[in-house]
């Protein structure tokens, strides 16, 4: 028998995050952007080293490691992106990240183009959110719409399958004749005349 479960009585209970879901979405999306920017920068540096190695025929990268230039967002651009990220609903955070990674893999952009690509993905997600919200609103309006019952329909219109407003010759001839008795297998429907 293990005594480990007995020693856990003095551990602190797990804490729930005090941050709101919007803050967590904002942080998650911005961390993803920064990670993709670092990856794009690394790939760009490797491509330039490969080109340099092909041109010179000699690889001196092992000898001297030049400091890599780091690209950073301007404060204004960062604030704009954070503002757009704050509008993203938590349920759309995962699909937004997946779409961003997909576009990064397809296009392999330069470091300077990553933020533009990220902004386009966020705009795409906001449009999808807006469309789904409008569809949900229409569905809700449709489900809350009062429906007429069969009784109100029955009182508004009577079904007359054989009645017509067009006078025929047979009606003129049979006008003076008494109406034949109704067949019991066929119901009689009459339209109400509106005044």
Q: Per-residue pLDDT tens for 91-146? A: 999 999 999 999 999 998 888 899 999 999 999 999 999 999 999 888 888 877 66
189 part of a folded domain: no
164 part of a folded domain: no
C-alpha pair distances (Å), 76 with each of 44, 70, 83, 100: 25, 18, 11, 21
* Overall average pLDDT of the 133-162 stretch: 69
Range of the domain at 47: 21-63+71-142
100 part of a folded domain: yes
**Count of domains observed in the chain:** 1
Q: Between 93-107 and 111-144, two packed helices, what is the crossing angle to 10 degrees? A: 140
pLDDT band (50, 70, 90) for residue 29? very high
pLDDT band (50, 70, 90) for residue 160? low
| pLDDT at residue 180 greater than cutoff 70 | no
25 part of a folded domain: yes
**Backbone torsion region of residue 108, taken as left when φ is above 0, otherwise alpha when ψ lies between -120 and 50, otherwise beta:** left
Return the pLDDT at 195.
56
Return the pLDDT at 54.
80
* Overall average pLDDT of the 63-67 stretch: 59
Cβ proximity of 84 and 17 under 8 Å: no
| pLDDT at residue 169 greater than cutoff 90 | no
Query: Of 189, 193, 192, which Cα lies nearest the Cα of 160?
Result: 189
Return the pLDDT at 190.
64
Report how far residue 27's alpha carbon sits from residue 29's, in angstroms, rounded to the nearest whole number.
6
Tokens of 76: 């204004």
Most confidently modeled range among 41-50, 59-68, 125-134:
125-134
172 part of a folded domain: no
In a 3-state reduction of DSSP, which class is residue 20? coil
51 part of a folded domain: yes
CB atoms within 10 A of CB 111: 20
> Considering the chain, what percentage of its residues have pLDDT values greater than 70?
59
Report how far residue 187's alpha carbon sits from residue 50's, in angstroms, rounded to the nearest whole number.
90
Report how far residue 55's alpha carbon sits from residue 41's, in angstroms, rounded to the nearest whole number.
21
Higher pLDDT pick, 7 / 128:
128
| Average pLDDT value over all residues in the chain | 77
Return the pLDDT at 168.
63
49 part of a folded domain: yes
* Overall average pLDDT of the 143-160 stretch: 60
Q: Let me know the angle formed at the C-alpha of 148 by 146 and 149, rounded to the nearest 5 degrees.
A: 130
């Amino acid at each position: 028998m293990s005594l480990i479960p007995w020693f856990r009585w003095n551990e602190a209970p797990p804490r729930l995050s005090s941050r709101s879901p919007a803050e967590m979405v904002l942080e998650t999306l911005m961390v993803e952007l920064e990670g993709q920017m670092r990856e794009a920068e690394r790939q760009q540096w490797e491509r330039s080293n490969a080109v340099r190695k092909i041109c010179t025929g000699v690889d001196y990268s092992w000898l001297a490691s030049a400091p890599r230039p780091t690209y950073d967002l301007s404060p204004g651009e960062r604030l704009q992106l954070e503002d757009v990220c704050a509008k993203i609903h938590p349920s759309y955070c995962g699909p937004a990240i997946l779409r961003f990674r997909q576009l990064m893999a397809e296009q392999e952009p330069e470091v300077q183009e990553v933020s533009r690509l990220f902004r386009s993905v966020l705009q795409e997600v906001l449009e999808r959110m807006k469309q789904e919200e409008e569809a949900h609103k229409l569905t809700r309006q449709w489900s809350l719409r009062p429906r007429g019952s069969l009784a109100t329909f029955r009182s508004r219109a009577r079904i007359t399958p054989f009645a017509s407003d067009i006078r025929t010759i047979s009606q003129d001839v049979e006008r003076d004749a008494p109406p034949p008795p109704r067949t019991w297998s066929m119901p009689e429907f009459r339209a109400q005349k509106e005044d």
